[in-house]
Structures are given as C-alpha cells and as structure tokens.
Chains A and B, each alone.
Chain A
C-alpha cells in the first residue's frame, strides 16, 4: 500500500521568488522521514509540493519531477484530487470543519468524495478514530461539534480525518507545534503506529522529535534571506544526529547556527 516518493530536481516558486532550489530525495515506503531546518528554508514548501498543495496559492508553480511509485504527479493528465486523496496532509494548526460534528469531520473526506453508505462511513469513522487514539475520548459525543475539542484532540481528529480516506502517504506540517508535551507524545505514538501502513513525512522544528520518531532526516537551509532553500544533507537519522557529513548540519543540530 505505502508508496515510494522520489523527488528529482524540484524547485518551487511563488511568482518570481524561488522558494526551494533543486531538491532531490527518495523516501522509502513505510518509513518516517523528518525534515528539519531554520524557518523560511522551504521545508513546508517542499512538503506542500509533494501533494500539489503548493499550487493552491496564487502564482505558485513548480519545476522538476516528483514521482510516486514512478508516476510523475505533475504530469498534465494527472487528476489533482486523486493525488491528494493518495497523499494526505495534516496541518500545523488543527483545522476541523467548524460546521461539522466530530463524526462528520472524520468521514468528511469519504462523504465529500461520494461515499454514501452509512455502515461504511460508521466503520471508517470508528477505525480512523481508533487509529488516531481518539476513539475512547469521543465515542460518546460523536455528534458534538469538532471545534469543541481541545487543541490536541482537534489535531488527532484532523489526523483521523486524513487517514479515513486511506491515503498511502501522510504529510505532516509541524503537527505538534501548537500542542502540549502530552498531546505531542500521543501524536508521536500515533506516528509509530501508522508507520506500519503509511509513508510519513514530517516537518518539525523540534530536533528531539525528529531524532525520536524518524528513520531518515533531511536538513534544509538557506544561505540568507531571499535565497532559495536547499537540501543540505539527507541521511539516516542516526547518522545526521551523531555524525553529520556537513558542517552546517552539525552547527544547526548543536545549536551554533546563526
């Protein structure tokens, strides 16, 4: 099920501004890959390029090849919605749909994509909420508004919503940055659990988190503001955090970075 992602010479632009330059990396199926680096270095832009969310913004465009199991997702005959169904995304801030209940939020992806059958939706809701470690907390109030949950619960609700459509890859854009340590732990546990079924790529500012959860780590950086972000080093997490090949990576990880 889980798929391999291969980026070759990917550059993304906002209008004439080049946000990331010539990124190439391969993400193996059923692994967790962490992207780290200073703010503004293009981690999120790269992440958003993987499921074609980058182009939602006006004037945004991309160059290069991004393949998922050898299909280029930027080919002109590719259906964007199919790509996004295959590559789900969890955002930095929890964004449950405010007009929908907890239940409706979880099955939103299925329902809006045309699944009508009640038993199917019920099953999917229960399964996803269980996978997201949220079922026990919300099973008695599925009809309550999703926006009424706490921040950590909302984020797990958004994860449940994402995995309910059964994607093959899950992208996470700083999913824990607005959460307390306990909710963060819950989501990290969840990521280990999901690793059996999905390929996960996570952007994080928390280096301990990257070291804890990921199999591979990519370090992004920029030379100075206004320059495009580049991938400095991409290797096993173990290696990056113990014996990085690049001086820049070492400086960033040890906190000596400007």
Chain B
C-alpha cells in the first residue's frame, strides 16, 4: 500500500481528498472565551494571582483546547500549523507590546511640558522652585555634536567599507575587519574615557593656553568612535549584497573601477547604507556617558561646539531625571520625547531621500 493510498485524515492529501474540514471561527472564539473563563475561575478561586496570571493561563488553556479541537476536526498536521501560527503571532504581539508601551509612556508623560518655553529657553538661572526652563541648549548640543560626528564618521566609514569590499585583499584587509569588529564592542564610556585622556587632556591644552577644556567637539569625537564600526559593518554588508554581474556589466562597458563603484555599486546599495547610518546616528544621539565625560554638560546655551561645556538631550534627561526639583521629571520626559521624535524625523527624512527607485 503506497503512501497515497493510506487514508490518514489531514496527513496525506490523496487526489480524492483535496478538501479538508476547517474549524469554524465561532468555535475558535468559543474556545478562547471558555479558556479565559476557566483560567479566571482557577486563579481567583484559588486566590493565587491577579489578571496577568489569568491572561497567561488563559493563553495556555486556549492553546491546549484549540489544539485538541483542531486535531479532531482538521487533523494533526493542520492542528500543529494552527498551534505554531498562534504562537508566532503571540510572540510578535509580545515584542511590539514594550515598544508601544514606551511610546505611550513618552507621549503621555512628555506632553506636560511640550510648550514654547521648553524649546525656547535653557536651564540657565533656573532654580529648584522654578517651573519653567527648557532644553534649548541641549537640543543645540545634540544637533551639533551628532551632526559633526556624522560628518566625520560617514565618509570614513563608507570609504572604509568600500576599501574592504572592493579593494581589500589579504592580511591588511583581514586585520582592518577584525579591529572594526572589536571596535563594535567598545562600551560608550570607554570611548568617552579615551577621548578624555587623548583629546581633552593632551590635545585641547594646545589650543587653550595650556589648560584642558571640555567641548562639544570632543563629544563628537567620542561619538565618531562609536559610530564608525556600525557604519563600516553595515555598509560592508550592503555592498556585498550588490550582485557581481552588475559590476561586471559596468566593467564590460569600459567603465573604470572607481566610477563603477561610484555610479553603479553605491546607488544600488544606497538605501541599505542609509539605514545603517541612521542606526548609528540614533545610537550616537542617545549616548550620555561620553557627553558627560568630555563635554561636561551645561545649563546655558553654547553655540560654539569647539570651546566650552555643552549639554545634550540624553545628558539633559539624565540630569533632570536625577534632579530633586519637583518640576525636573516633567522636563526629563519631554526631553526624552524630543530625542525620540528627533531621531524619528531624521530617519524618515533620510529614507525618503534615499528611496531606491526615484524612477517609478
């Protein structure tokens, strides 16, 4: 007897059995309701927990009940399919839940100080009893520090990746790639300490009559150290995804290698490269430690990133969240919301600019 002739419901579809029964959706819903009810009865009846346990137990009951019912009606294979589908959807929901929660918390708590004063003033001369005060200085700091860091890290990172993918052969390229990997793991505080020891304490006195000086630029340097490996690695991956035949197509037209890279390879990989860069920018914008270490933080507005203390949004959040003033937490929440919104806007703008097919 061949496999096709055996009549195992739901396992083998013989030409005579291409239809199968489906569990009707009201039954599915019924099982869910019953499972929740049973779980509520068990939990509250025994007094062993609250609604969270009811949901968890309810889901478990639902899975068991649904699997049993589907096995009976649809057969084991489709029952297993249903089970895994439910689990996968559940996992997806669980993953989105914290994200939605973060956004909700930020918006609901940050809305309190979302006013002109917050975006128009600094924390200069703001005491513990003052309800106003804002993050203007921190926004300026973040934009300048992250902007300068991006200007330094993007060309270096993209060119480095181009070297690794298109030109790098042999030991040197391997070594570079290895150290880029190592750099990926550098904690931000270490990058901050490195710039503190190297730039702030050794180099900056040359420009400041022998006295070390904090500056936003030092923070940019630390952020560059953090952004570089991310950009190199993501760009490298994207360049490797560009099919070889595209390069060969350009070579076969007599196009030199550098021009092939510039006009064919880079445009093809651009959307992915931009995504990688924006991830690095988002990470840099959220860094607190290096800014605290090498830019020092400040309460007043400082437009000059090359001299004097600067603050940043992340640092502002950190300082306000730890401040004893009863008005500080609101400022911290609004600053956090501003930071997230800023990164979101930048990311969307970059994605729009780099849309692959401006043609269609």
B252–A81 CB distance below 8 A: no
A143–B359 CB distance below 8 A: yes
Query: Does B45 make an interface contact (CB < 8 A)?
Result: no
Q: How far is the CA of A236 from the CA of B356 in the complex (A)?
A: 49
A145–B357 CB distance below 8 A: yes
Q: Binary interface profile of A, 89-128, with partner B (CB < 8 Å = 1, else 0)?
A: 1010101111111000000110011000000000000000
Determine, out of A34-42, A51-59, A215-223, the stretch whose residues face the partner at the interface: A51-59
A165–B359 CB distance below 8 A: no
A95–B245 CB distance below 8 A: yes
B269: nearest chain-A partner, CB-CB: A99
Question: In the complex, which of the residues B245, B247, B253, B356 contacts A84, with contact meaning CB atoms closer than 8 Å?
Answer: B253
A81–B243 CB distance below 8 A: no
Chain B contributes a number of interface residues (CB within 8 A of A) equal to: 25
Query: Does B49 make an interface contact (CB < 8 A)?
Result: no
A109–B359 CB distance below 8 A: no
Query: Does B267 make an interface contact (CB < 8 A)?
Result: yes
A114: nearest chain-B partner, CB-CB: B259
Question: In the complex, which of the residues A86, A93, A112 contacts B250, with contact meaning CB atoms closer than 8 Å?
Answer: A112
Query: Does B205 make an interface contact (CB < 8 A)?
Result: no
A81–B357 CB distance below 8 A: no
Contacts of B252 in A (CB 8 A): 51, 53, 84, 88-89, 91, 162
Contacts of A98 in B (CB 8 A): 246, 268, 356
A20 to chain B, nearest CB (A): 19
Query: Does B263 make an interface contact (CB < 8 A)?
Result: yes
B245–A145 CB distance below 8 A: no
Taking A143-B359, A148-B360 as contacts, is the C-beta distance between A162 and B253 under 8 angstroms?
A: yes
Contacts of A239 in B (CB 8 A): none
Q: Binary interface profile of A, 68-97, with partner B (CB < 8 Å = 1, else 0)?
A: 000000000000011111101101010111
Q: How far is the CA of A160 from the CA of B308 in the complex (A)?
A: 61
Known: A58-B169, A101-B359, A148-B360. 11 other contacts (CB 8 A): A82-B254, A84-B253, A97-B268, A98-B246, A98-B268, A99-B357, A108-B255, A109-B254, A113-B253, A113-B255, A145-B360
**Residues of B in contact with A (beta carbons under 8 Å apart):** 169, 243, 245-256, 259-260, 263-264, 267-268, 270, 356-357, 359-360
**Residues of A in contact with B (beta carbons under 8 Å apart):** 51, 53, 56, 58, 81-86, 88-89, 91, 93, 95-101, 108-109, 112-113, 143-145, 148, 158, 161-162, 165
Instruction: Give me 20 A-to-B residue pairs in the complex whose CB atoms sit less than 8 angstroms apart, sorted by A's number.
Output: A53-B251, A56-B248, A82-B254, A84-B251, A84-B253, A88-B253, A91-B248, A91-B252, A95-B246, A97-B250, A98-B246, A99-B264, A99-B356, A99-B357, A99-B359, A108-B264, A109-B253, A112-B263, A113-B255, A161-B253
